[in-house]
Structure 1
Amino acid sequence: MKLFTAPPYLLILFCLVISVKVFANEQYVIHHSTFIGGEGTDDCDTVTIDHSGNTLLGCHSTSRYLANKKLNRFNHKGGMDAFVIKINKHSNNIDFITQLGGDEWDGVQGLATDASGNIYAVGSTYSSNFPTSANAQQIKFAGKSDAFLVKLNQHGEIIWSTLFGGAEDEDGRNLVLDDHGNIHIIGRTNSKDLTVTEDAIQPDLAGQTDAFIASFTPQGRLLFSSYLGGKGYDKGFDIKLLSSGKKAIVGSTDSIDFPVKNAIYHHPFGQEDMFVVLLNDKNNQIEFATYIGGAGIDTGVSIIIDSQDNILAVGQTHSPNMSGGHHIQKKRLKGKSDVFIVKINSKTHTLTNLDYLGGSGIDRPRNALVDDSDNIIIIGQTNSEALHLNDSVTAKPLGIWGDIKQYFKTYFNDNYDNGFIIKLDNNGSQVLLSAVLGGDKTDVFEGAVIDKHNMLTVTGLSNSHNFETIKPLQSEFKGGRFDIILMKIKL
């Protein structure tokens, strides 16, 4: 790859001009950017902010040490270890690293905190010796892989830890807390003997793989559990709560008999479709369930609930003909895959908007959320040379590299992905921000959270030696396959 070159004095002047251009405006400013990692593979799938403003990261690693090995104890146990990191909001230093795992692959994939500062982590484990509590709902490892759910106190000490799984594979993908402190998790299973409750929506495995939903008390006891799926492959990816307490779920399915109800679309469209499901707050039964898709592969990734209880579902599409009737925007699939977003009225169960977002390559969303103004923020990874999102809007660029066109001249290589951030209005029709950030190799944004001060925190992975750092905990890439990256951006 041939990089842009210029005389040293011009590069210095260029950097000074960019610094003034970007940092003179308090909107869309990167306040903090850092690596965290060792000599192995380090990744952070999820992030949240606790009640006091501290940052919690849910990660996994094969490294022998992380960050400062003298101050932050981390002893690699084998395979891939799961762990939770707490970063103090005052000192910007690591308060603790709590390991969660055994001898094989373990990873945290969902994270939440309560008003007391307790931390809840959900994930997947292949370790038969994953540590569980003596009074856990499920003490023993049951299959090839199990989901796990762990509660930590604000100091990183384990309060309780339980497995959840049957004789085959389970994957715990995400979780959400309700007003009573109950924990609701979503994932996938292909075990016929997964523990289900008497009030289950679906008591038995219907196909090769089903989604599952499970609810636990703050003490870790099982309240509700059910399969959800048809005769094919069904995977649950994300779960959120409406203000009424109803549960909204998103995932993907290739089943021709997914249990739809009051659906927008009653039949599948292609190889794989997004599903969106709404469970009532009384007995967890299906109030609404629909297919969303086109002729290709369409995967539901993240679900958002705005202040009006609209459901905003975000996914990745390979379909040139996503179904949306008159609600679909004029733009169509631009590359091999695009981001897509649908907006559904949760009261009328009607589709109010659907749109593609993407460039000429592969664009993959990894997470989505809304800010206090109900603007939509989507993060992920892209190898599109121009993540051009809306023909009628010139999105405001973000970046310590300044102008995005100059960034691509200097760094872009379509053999690697870069992280992206998209900010849209609530209808998904106006792009407020489009940013592609990274170095000369692979950079992926995976976890995202926004705090009460409109500070966006994103996490993920990178192996770019020239990934820009600002006030870092760790300024350099430590080697191995990837290091964790963490960025804080004022929106």
Structure 2
Amino acid sequence: MRKIISLFAFAAVLAAQSPSEDKRLVFSTFNGGDRYDDATAVAVDPGGFIYVAGESESRDIPVKPVGGKPLNSAVFKAYLTKYSSEGKEVLWRAQIGGSSNTVAHAVALDKDGNIYVAGTTGARDLPLLHPIQDKQGGLNICFVMKFDPEGTLLFSTYFGGERNEEGLALALDSVGNIYLAGRASSAQLPVKNAMQPQISGGGQDAFIAKITPDFQLAYATYLGGNSGTDNIYAIAVGPDDSLYVAGETMSTGMATEGAYITLPQSYSSFVARVKPEGDGLIYFTYVGWKGGYTSIRGLTVDRDGRAYVVGHTSSKQLPTSENALQTAFGGGFRDAFLLRLSVDGTAAEYLTYLGGSSSGPTDPDETATAVKIDARGYVYITGYTNSPDFPGFRALQSNHGGKFDAFLLRLDVDQKQLISSTFWGGVENDESLALTLGPGESATIAGITYSSDLPLSANALQTKLGSGNDAFVCQICDPWLGIWFGDLSEARFTYVLGGEVPAPINSVVYAGCPQAFPAEGPESTEPWLILEKDGGTVPMKLKLSVNPDGLAPGEYKTIIKVTVNDAFHPVLEIPVTLVVQEPPVVIEDPSPAN
């Protein structure tokens, strides 16, 4: 019997309207042309500009080839698209490739707004700039590119050996070092300062490379064992700029002392934390359980340095934590899962299934592909499922559309509280492959859709499916109420009897979203407090004034409330204090005047 917290049994769902009409939807659009298109990576900068990368076979999309040369001979090209905030327009679209197929797998941003793209290419004529490797000597090897916010190429390089490499993951640290990871079958990878300088006996290893901000190779290393199935799907940089990596392995003997799991179970995954110089591991733990296989697909790290990983598992024997959202396998062939490790990688602090009961037509039938953590420590997870009973709460789309649907879930791990969970899809297959957060409370997912009836926003840039499938991009902003007092930390007035009335306090009630939400209140029940607002929606400009006439000295307190029913915490309570003071006593000087 499936054991899911009782919240799912009685959760109220905001389903009176269609997903496209839900006020939390910022935008949703197709992104494709006359042939195959997908989106494998997405990032958002502080200004709200959205960057989507993926793979395209389409010939009818306006693009600017990187390097200026038309890419007519390759079937598949990588692309990088920049959307304006709220997805209102496409600002530019760069086409990446050469004379052979090229695929983008990852995208990242630095603090200056530059964009980095990594992937795999068979092209030997990729446009290069300041490369750390200027030759493509293999079949398919990695590439990394850097663009400025206007789409101008700043850096481009190959990375690989004589056979096949895939650049699957990309991250940057606080000083601009670039980390590339994936899998390699070449024995001649350009290793440097490596903790593992040679490929293992299995024939395929994971790899990690670090490139400095001035485009020098700091280190490059294999990471693998005896199985030939080692790869890295996801990487993240911790608060101290240490690198975390996660992927799959069947290799034995790789765990560090005291690791959470010291032996692989069937087909397992792993999480490792790498020393800053790349010359060793702080920890390496397997992630996998008896009775099935486990695949990690997403990784993030919180402010305390704890790794969170998601993916899918066929094991029905997960030792879920006491506060798990879902303690038992949901059914079907695979369930998604969420694991939080301790800082030192020796224990599972949180482990839960995430899944429904249906068996899908393909493997996996349910998976989580990406995970992020917001400023409050809440966990966002995306992926896809074909289970109509996948746990939902406050859903924009409460009903399973058909076949695979994308999903987006937000969870308070410590309080065992699902904040929201929604399907996103139509009657055909829809898979969310990438996730990013910001600005504010926004979450953006991207992936691939085969559904002509995918829920779209009224402002969608592309309203028709371009071919049998397209990429899609969807941004949702779930309001979280707060108030800003400018330079003040609170609404506190001080009035001295007989003196001037305190100046008004101007504030803004916000929801962390670009769209407006209907709001009720605030109203004052105290005659000494005067409220003026600029309308009935949030964001709301609110002016607070006081009238202290007739008040005796003392402290007067009240709480005013703003209610937004679309928010998880719908009521914002705003304390207001007025302190009335006696005027200072004037003591006359008793000494006689000269």
**Pairing 1:418–2:405 present:** yes
Pairing 1:430-445 to 2, within 5 Å after superposition = 430-445=417-432
Aligned to 2:35, the other structure's residue is in SS state coil
* Higher deviation after alignment, 162-171 or 316-325: 316-325
Is the contact made by 1:260 and 1:291 (CA closer than 8 Å) also made in structure 2?
no
Q: For each residue in 1:255-306, what CA deviation from the matched residue of structure 2 results, as whole angstroms up to 9, or x when unmatched?
A: 1233544311111111x11101011235542011011112312011111112
Contact 1:87–1:93 (Cα < 8 Å) also in 2:
yes
Deviation digits for residues 210-229 of structure 1 (CA, Å, limit 9, x no counterpart): 11011001232211111001
2:462 alignment counterpart: 474
Give the direction of change, closer, same or farther, for the CA distance of 1:452–1:307 in structure 2 (3 Å limit).
farther
1:468 and 1:313 map into 2 onto residues whose CA distance is 29
- 2:327 counterpart of 1:330: yes
Equivalence for 2:563? none
The partner residue of 1:341 within 329, 332, 338 is 338
Does residue 384 of the first structure (1) align with residue 387 of the second (2)? yes
1:55–1:74: structure 2 CA closer, same or farther, 3 Å change rule?
A: farther
Deviation at 1:59, TM superposition (A): 1.6
Q: What CA distance in whole angstroms lies between the structure 2 residues aligned with 1:469 and 1:230?
A: 46
Distance 1:484 1:348, change over 3 A: closer
Q: What is the correspondence of 1:193-208 to structure 2 with a 5 Å cutoff?
A: 193-197=188-192, 199-206=193-200, 207-208=202-203
Please state if 1:40 is matched with 2:28: no
Superposition pairs of residues 45-444 of structure 1, within 5 angstroms:
45-66=40-61, 76-77=71-72, 78-89=74-85, 92-133=88-129, 135-197=130-192, 199-206=193-200, 207-232=202-227, 233-270=229-266, 272-294=267-289, 295-323=291-319, 330-347=327-344, 349-361=346-358, 362-388=365-391, 395-399=393-397, 404=398, 407-408=399-400, 411-412=401-402, 416-427=403-414, 429-444=416-431
Q: 1:208 to 1:322 in 2, by over 3 A?
A: farther
* Contact 2:27 2:86 (C-alpha < 8 Å) held by counterparts: no
Cα offset, 1:22, TM superposition: 6.4
What is the CA distance between 1:322 and its match in structure 2?
A: 2.8
Write the deviation string for residues 308-336 of structure 1: whole angstroms up to 9, x where unpaired: 22211112111112356878763235221
Letter in 2 for 1:238: A
Residue 18 of structure 1 corresponds to which residue in structure 2? 17
Structure-1 residue corresponding to 2:436: 449
Residue 311 of structure 2 aligns to a residue whose secondary structure is strand
Q: Counterpart of 1:18 in 2: which secondary structure?
A: coil
Q: Which one-letter code corresponds to 1:117 in the other structure?
A: G
Q: Distance in 2 between matches of 1:113 and 1:180?
A: 12
Distance in 1, matches of 2:414 and 2:15, equals: 37
- Whether the 8 Å contact between 1:376 and 1:426 is mirrored in structure 2 is yes
Question: Hey, what's the Cα distance between the residues in 1 that align with 2:262 and 2:344?
Answer: 18
Shift of 1:363: 0.9
CA RMSD of aligned residues (A): 2.5
One-letter amino acid of the counterpart of residue 210, structure 1 = D
Q: In 1, Cα distance between the equivalents of 2:92 and 2:204?
A: 37
Q: Which moved more, 1:228-237 or 1:273-282?
A: 273-282
For 1:84-141, what per-residue CA distance to the aligned partner results, in whole angstroms no more than 9, with x for missing partners? 11112278211111111112221111111112221111111122322222x4111111
Shift of 1:462: 1.0
How big is the shift at 1:367? 1.0
So what's the TM-score if we normalise by structure 1? Answer: 0.86
In structure 1, give the amino acid aligned to 2:369.
R
Q: Secondary structure at the match of 1:167?
A: coil
User: Secondary structure of 1:208's match?
Assistant: coil
1:159-193 Cα deviation digits (max 9, x unpaired): 12101001111010111111111101111101111
In the alignment, the residues of structure 2 paired with residue 253 and residue 321 of structure 1 have an alpha-carbon distance, to the nearest angstrom, of 19
AA at the equivalent of 2:465: F
Show structure 2 runs of 5+ residues with no match. 1-13, 359-364, 479-594
Q: Percent identity?
A: 26
Amino acid at match of 2:375: D
Give the AA of the match of 1:60.
E
**For the pair shown, which has the larger CA radius of gyration, 1 or 2?**
2
Check whether the contact 1:262–1:287 (CA below 8 A) recurs between aligned residues.
Answer: no
Paired letter, 1:297: Y
> Aligned in 2, Cα 1:19/1:387: closer, same or farther, shift over 3 Å?
closer
Which stretch shows the higher mean deviation, 423-432 or 46-55? 423-432
The 3 A distance-change label for structure 1 pair 76 and 61 is: farther
2:137 alignment partner, SS class:
coil
- Partners of 1:331 and 1:359 lie apart in 2 by 10
TM normalised by structure 2 equals 0.72
CA distance in 1, matches of 2:85, 2:222: 40
- CA distance in structure 1 between the aligned counterparts of 2:432 and 2:474, rounded to whole angstroms: 9
Q: Which runs of 4+ in 1 moved over 4 A?
A: 19-22, 73-76, 323-329
- For residue 374 of structure 1, report the CA deviation from its aligned partner: 1.1
> Unpaired segments of 5 or more residues in structure 1?
1-14, 389-393
Number of aligned residue pairs: 450
1-structure distance, mates of 2:254, 2:53: 32
Matched residues in 2 for 1:283 and 1:462: separation? 39
Question: Which amino acid is the alignment partner of residue 224 of structure 2?
Answer: G
Contact 1:65 1:74 in 2 (8 A): no
Amino acid at match of 1:204: Q
When residues 436 and 280 of structure 1 are mapped into structure 2, their CA distance, relative to the original with a 3 A threshold, is same
Contact 1:234–1:255, Cα closer than 8 Å, also in 2? yes
2-side partners of 1:423 and 1:168: how far apart?
Answer: 41
- From the superposition, tell whether residues 452 and 114 of structure 1 become closer, same or farther in structure 2 (CA, over 3 Å): same
Q: Using the alignment, how far apart are the partners of 1:49 and 1:255 within structure 2? A: 36
The equivalent residue for 1:391 is none
Letter in 2 for 1:376: V
Q: Does the 8 A contact of 2:262 with 2:285 survive in 1? A: yes
Moved more, 221-230 or 249-258: 249-258
Corresponding residue SS for 1:460: strand
**Aligned residue identity for 2:212:** T
